[in-house]
Chain A
């Protein structure tokens, strides 16, 4: 079955460093990958979308890559801040609007 996997272990990093989160997919060739941020007790909030024909997408301190050979997307937050602490969800889709979500990776940025 189609699967999206993220590292379930929490990622702890020091303020100012770059956080890198991984999203792998199997049995599936998504046309799009989306990244969402979720704070405790809140709904997810959209951050970035990358298409299969794009290698990289940037938005302020955020960068997403999409490697169709490795079947992987990397999500980077540069110059991380404690306010970036949250759970980050990867989701994939083709053209129907239905998303398949990974389980999320919790990021903790320490001052």
Chain B
């Protein structure tokens, strides 16, 4: 199993450009998440999905969009890049464990994005 894979690893965007961050998991997990992590900070939830066709906003969704057409893939779209979106982006997946709330999350390696 590859687990959670993300592409690209690094990207530099100019202000106003658009891009899609790719995320794929091969663990057949229902739940998928997108986080951003700024230097010295914890992870902030951008969007999440509880299954194909179902997505919902997290704590910091402005400037981003997502879709979930398959169980495996959960791409994150930046429409008009802004310097405030410079960050490291992590995708994660999970399934419910043995009891309610037992959602151990598996993270990808991250995408480091710079907007200049």
Contacts and interface: CB of A to CB of B under 8 A. Distances in A.
Interface of A: 4, 6, 8, 31-32, 34, 41-46, 49, 51, 89, 91, 93-104
B58 A43 contact: no
Interface stretch (B35-43, B63-71, B73-81): B35-43
In which size bucket is the chain B interface? 20 to 34
B101 A95 contact: yes
B53 to A, nearest CB: 17
23 contacts: A6-B42, A31-B100, A32-B102, A42-B109, A43-B4, A43-B90, A44-B90, A44-B105, A45-B107, A46-B105, A49-B102, A51-B99, A91-B43, A93-B101, A93-B103, A96-B101, A97-B50, A97-B94, A97-B103, A99-B43, A99-B45, A101-B42, A103-B40
B96 interface: yes
Contact of A98 (B42, B58, B102): B58
Contact of B107 (A34, A43, A93, A102): A43
A86 to B, nearest CB: 14
Interface of B: 4, 31, 33, 35, 40-45, 48, 50, 58, 90, 92, 94, 96-97, 99-110
A6 B99 CA distance: 26
A8 B42 CA distance: 10
B42 A104 contact: yes
Contacts of A4: 42
B104 A98 contact: no
A51 B42 contact: no
Nearest to B107: A43
A29 to B, nearest CB: 12
What 5 pairs across the A-B complex have the smallest Cβ distances?
A: A43-B107, A101-B42, A97-B103, A103-B42, A95-B101
Contacts of A42: 109-110
B101 A89 contact: no
Nearest to A89: B42
